[in-house]
Amino acid sequence: MDERDMRELLTGYFTEMTWAGGLTKEDIVAKLTGRDDALLNVVGHYVPEGTYPNGQAVMDVIPEQAWQDAQGDEWRGGAIGDTGGHFRDSPAARDS
């Protein structure tokens, strides 16, 4: 699941919540528990304690790094093999 999908999913969960009077971080964590561990970790680690008037206010405090962390640090591209370059033999390599 990419970052955009994760944001949309969390926003969808927020639309299911009753925001009258605001929700605390604890309320949001309770609603997400058992639904999506990655989003639960984002809220748990990156949303400061407090009361939020709506889902957008919560989204506004989640840093970009949180979405990247939630996707993991594993390389998802293809394998990188020997590129066959000749840098070590070049004049630039000899200058260093």
pLDDT digit string, tens, across residues 22-69: 999 999 999 999 998 889 999 999 999 999 999 999 999 999 888 888
For residue 24, list its beta bridge partners: 51
Overall domain count for the chain: 1
pTM of the entire predicted model: 0.71
Residue 10 lies in a domain: yes
Structural domain harbouring 10? 3-70
Residue 61 lies in a domain: yes
Residue 81 lies in a domain: no
Task: Calculate what percentage of the chain has a pLDDT beyond 70.
Answer: 76
Residue 92 lies in a domain: no
Residue 45 lies in a domain: yes
Residue 93 has pLDDT above 50, yes or no: yes
Residue 78 lies in a domain: no
**Banded pLDDT at 10 (limits 50, 70, 90):** very high
Residue 65 lies in a domain: yes
CB neighbours (10 Å) of residue 52?
21
